[in-house]
Structure 1
């Protein structure tokens, strides 16, 4: 039987998609003389690339026209297989949908994500995996809820404008025309455990990455706090289940994707799972490990954030838990983790681009060929 290597990287943000990384690694292994099976399984942790990973796993790619983060129509894809839809929030309201000079931290809306959910249900989905990450929004999922039929109004009864800033003026939330989702199971794939509010919340931690100033962050925080108060009260009244209180806003992951996690937990009754764990399940990763000699994972930066459940750690730990264990190594743009930190995460060795091209600009510009060279080093170290 031919030797097998699993190539399961995440994207190198800003330079290579996960699929491109996997292709380059495979090319480098072949050039180094590896004649076995190089199985390419690009992965994601809920953000950009989640739908691509699902398609790799056999899901059908479906494209739907939805509202982008600032209302302009966009073509967004989701995956569908046997009644399960994989929806990537970034497809509808991702930062990639906006130009570098046209960020909209106060007004970007998650409305298109709700439209994707309805599109998936409309063609038969009864189970939805909602991948969070990479979005331009900090609206607490208010746009998503509006797309599903809810009405948000200010003190004069007027429809609230889109975006997180307007939420500070929210006076009433009418859920009477919400779509009936009782027959749909929702799973949220996310790699963060932030609550909705506070110093570790959606506005404080992530809004600056979306173009928010210090003053904007305060405004967004106030809007999200008001949204949480009104939303939790309205949902408790509508469901007559006595839910109230701060359970949803304080739940780990409520702050994911600008607060989309909050809306999913509260209104969709979603269950939150680490994004990479869900993706590995969809890829039947445990079965793919059978007979493998090595796993090659990676991402753009192996750093402290990686250790909080990012894709490479999920892949490496799954490989280590296999019977028998399969060693895992990682390629990366940069690596700031020590050998001990890598080992604790299940990664036997890291191969960063900076080891062969220290200049960051040139490294990103030539990431593809450099990854191939790293793969040759991996073949020499692990596949002889």
Structure 2
């Protein structure tokens, strides 16, 4: 969100321009609250600073809020959650006429109702229902943020919600959940919603995993969703069986494509529907106008809950730093914690990497006092950077 509320249009043209573009500090503050705390600190050090607040996300939880904050509107719809129960979920209708659906909003890991259902009985049916809803609105470009899902169904639920039928050897319909995918022999795609042919589908994800195998959806991400060690091999093989039938039906191959394993295989289903997968952080940065915010700026301040080597795989702070570098603006990282073993790599992209905590504190204290710690450290960094 390009926010000029802290800018004084009559201010001295030599006043520093600061762009603040953090991700959320998960479990503590959302991205907008993190940015506000950072801005408070900067303004303490330099009251004359022009602060441009651009909360970020990278395709996971919070993506909808970040993009919607730059314009457009939120619409609440009814869909199935991961466990099959009805729930309300927000989708974003964007100023350019597109729509954004956040899978974490529908089948997210933070939804207690969905995650109370065993992972092998969860599905992405609600995500497909959300796509169908925006098709009813006449939307021609659909962005689907894939991070933070609690599902591992290969996108079976999404495909069924959009008109596909999963059939066993006797022609009986198969429920689109991981526990049943080994029974799938045929996939009937004759009923797939024809409006999808005229829509641009974009999946937002930084995951490069294929659908199956040792680096695929189940073995890499399944355990955090509840797949038990004894279930890994059979669950993975079920995705292979499902993929065999789906690829025959669509007459295209996608299981090995980078990102097919994103969101428990939701990336695979999107590929089947002709989607492209793009880095989530870059899509968000474009949608919120980060490049415009950096025009004429003197400093970028970004951060996240914890920064380590994974930050450089496309997380929001890394994307923000890349945009800043392209604009000739130095970028500083201010996060809840910094992995000391990753500092050498991180330092290649940031003008310093800093933790918000002033000394040894408990995790509970750090999370409870996050806003205050952020403001204090941002103030000290501003005194250093904006002399």
RMSD, aligned α-carbons: 1.6
* 1:258 alignment partner, one of 260, 264, 271: 264
* Other structure's SS at 1:182 match: helix
Q: Does 1:193 align with 2:193?
A: no
Q: Is the 8 A contact 1:339 1:349 kept in 2?
A: no
The aligned counterpart of 2:226 is 211
Q: Does 1:144 align with 2:158?
A: yes
* Other structure's SS at 1:146 match: helix
The aligned counterpart of 1:341 is 345
* CA distance in 2 between partners of 1:159 and 1:14 (Å): 40
Change in CA separation of 1:100 and 1:371 when aligned onto 2, cut-off 3 Å: farther
> Number of paired residues?
371
Task: Give TM-score scaled by structure 2 length.
Answer: 0.92
* 1:221 alignment partner, one of 227, 236, 253: 236
Q: Is the 8 A contact 1:34 1:383 kept in 2?
A: no
Deviation at 1:108, TM superposition (A): 1.2
* Other structure's SS at 1:222 match: helix
* Other structure's SS at 1:329 match: strand
Deviation at 1:355, TM superposition (A): 4.4
Q: Does 1:169 align with 2:172?
A: no
Q: Is the 8 A contact 1:354 1:360 kept in 2?
A: no
The aligned counterpart of 1:294 is 299
* 2:359 alignment partner, one of 356, 360, 365: 356
* 1:283 alignment partner, one of 283, 288, 307: 288
Moved over 6 A (4+): none
Q: Does 1:328 align with 2:342?
A: no
Cα displacement string for residues 213-264 of structure 1 (whole angstroms, at most 9, x for unaligned residues): 102222320111111111001111xxxxxx3xxx400000000010000000
* CA distance in 2 between partners of 1:379 and 1:212 (Å): 45
The aligned counterpart of 1:319 is 324
* Other structure's SS at 1:250 match: coil
Name whichever of 372-381 and 174-183 sits farther off.
Answer: 372-381
Name whichever of 185-194 and 93-102 sits farther off.
Answer: 93-102
5+ residue gaps in structure 2? Answer: 1-12
* Other structure's SS at 2:190 match: coil
Change in CA separation of 1:100 and 1:125 when aligned onto 2, cut-off 3 Å: closer
Q: Is the 8 A contact 2:83 2:113 kept in 1?
A: no
Change in CA separation of 1:100 and 1:363 when aligned onto 2, cut-off 3 Å: farther
Deviation at 1:360, TM superposition (A): 2.4
Deviation at 1:265, TM superposition (A): 0.7
Q: Does 1:383 align with 2:378?
A: no
Deviation at 1:300, TM superposition (A): 0.9
* CA distance in 2 between partners of 1:193 and 1:89 (Å): 18
The aligned counterpart of 1:239 is none
Deviation at 1:99, TM superposition (A): 5.8
* 1:42 alignment partner, one of 49, 55, 76: 55
* CA distance in 2 between partners of 1:29 and 1:219 (Å): 53
Q: Is the 8 A contact 1:88 1:132 kept in 2?
A: yes
Task: Give TM-score scaled by structure 1 length.
Answer: 0.92
Change in CA separation of 1:208 and 1:284 when aligned onto 2, cut-off 3 Å: same
